[in-house]
Structure 1
Amino acid sequence: MWWPPFLYPPPASAYVAAMSAVSLASMANAGLAELRGRHMAYSKFWHVVAAGSTAGGGKGNGKQAGGALLRSRDGMLVAYAPALLAAAASFAVPGAVVGARAQLLSAALAAHFLKRILEVLFVHRYSGSMPLDTAATIGCSYLLSTATMIYAQHLSRGLPEPPVDLLYPGVLLVAVGLAGNFYHHYLLSRLRADGGGDGDKGYKIPRGGLFELVTCPHYLFEILGFFGFAMIAQTAYALAVATGTAAYLAGRSCATRRWYESKFEEFPARIKALVPYLL
């Protein structure tokens, strides 16, 4: 049977095979949901929809009305901390990360989620709240995908090495993704710090960096980071996660661009959603 030369042969694990299919399908479906206006309960879109439903006299958002709520900052910490702990703890589990590839994968995943937590604490500016069950669901998803990526890498020990070695290009791509994502998150935080824009939330059209060309360059660099993980791992599961993440963030990017167009009549038509000049 033909198999891509840049991937390890699939391990004899029904769990990893099933998780590869589930991760790709669920993330792609989430991206389609974003395009159709069904947003996860942690974005500006969800708060607008929830507020509008309540003001209109309807039932509103059930989670907002009756479920436990966290401050948005606390909710994002709940979402990211378990995955960071899993990646860091893998170094303490005997035999879990053996060899340069496995060690670099766990280190890259730990760096990714550590960066996210540091941004939550020191960079991002939040308003509003997040349902506890949403934070817990996102946290479980990140934890499961991180642990499974490390486990799939562990199962690749003893399998033939892929003919095409992408390990160190993958490390470079992760570094580019982390740096670019942080830089554009910083630009967004400065936008909110300046005030003005859309009411008391301070929304403005982002400027600087790749914001001159696309609405969501921070998502573009996050996608690059996830494909960097896939290049370090060179497992089918890591590639499925990266592809699913790209599909989801593409949907969010298109929804974001649509939102900016609805908020700002002067939004430039030349600015794409995710990929400069293309998408």
Structure 2
Amino acid sequence: MKELKGYRFRIYPDEIQKKFFVETFGCVRFTYNHLLMNKQEPGIDKMTPAQLKQAHPFLKEVDSLALANAQRNLERAFRNYHNGRAGYPKLKSKKNSWQSYTTNNQKGTIHLSEGYLKLPKLKERVALNQHREVKGEIKSATISAKNNQEFYVSLLCLEEIPPLKKTGEVVHLNFDEEHLVQLDRKLILPKFCQEKLEQKIEQAERRLSCRKKAARRKKIQLQSAQNYQKQKRIVEQLQQEKANQMKNHLEQVSFLLVNHFDKINIQSQSSNLEAPNAIPNFQLKDWKQFVSKLRYKTQWYQKELVKQK
């Protein structure tokens, strides 16, 4: 069965490539915001990226597919809004720490070769850390950056995913704040503990607060306070490490269950499960991410997922 599968890698663009990426982020943001404002004006014809290019020639310098995808993303945002899945679309801000754009593969315009990534509109290939093999056909690539310093690529590929071996086993599971899941069958799950990392984050946040107070005493704006900004980056790195550890654990547990059981029954949960007086290892948002991973993995590997009330 062919399915869409994503891969994410760290990339290391040179200064010219960084400039191109940052300019493309800005043009995509510009396009998205102008199309959104156009939709908010009654009685005005629908605007397109092509019309924007005529009025703003600098948009011609970047990947046209990135601008077209900005339009598609806005249309998707409005569909989600009208279907009650999301709030009303908001303007994109350059102050957001994460910026991104998406382009499509057209006859090999995106491909990997010998530790390098080829992208549309770039003459030179971009170095990347390809830590796993990419199988199947690349359909699109999303370039993202954190504070325009750390750059990543997410590749969406259409590939053949072989089914897992049938076991004939069925399991019922529930949300557990300490271990993530409660099983009615015996199965050793990977251990998970972030206590030491939580302590590091707490200590780093206290230090950040002290440096914020010190900057204010000296009447220095936080954007110009070097010690504050340095500590802020440390806090962000620790929080990202925490998120990565959680994501990795959810991946391991979800694949383990799909590999061992042909049918997975999940008991629906309500928000009152979260303990008010204790800090749990897992929260309902983690459980929802976990169920989402089970949903697509059971589809990939031809297993069955049943949500019970």
Same fold (TM over 0.5): no
User: Which structure's relative contact order is higher, taking Cα pairs within 8 Å and 6+ residues apart?
Assistant: 1
Normalised by the length of structure 1, the TM-score is 0.29
Structure with bigger strand share is 2
Structure with bigger helix share is 1
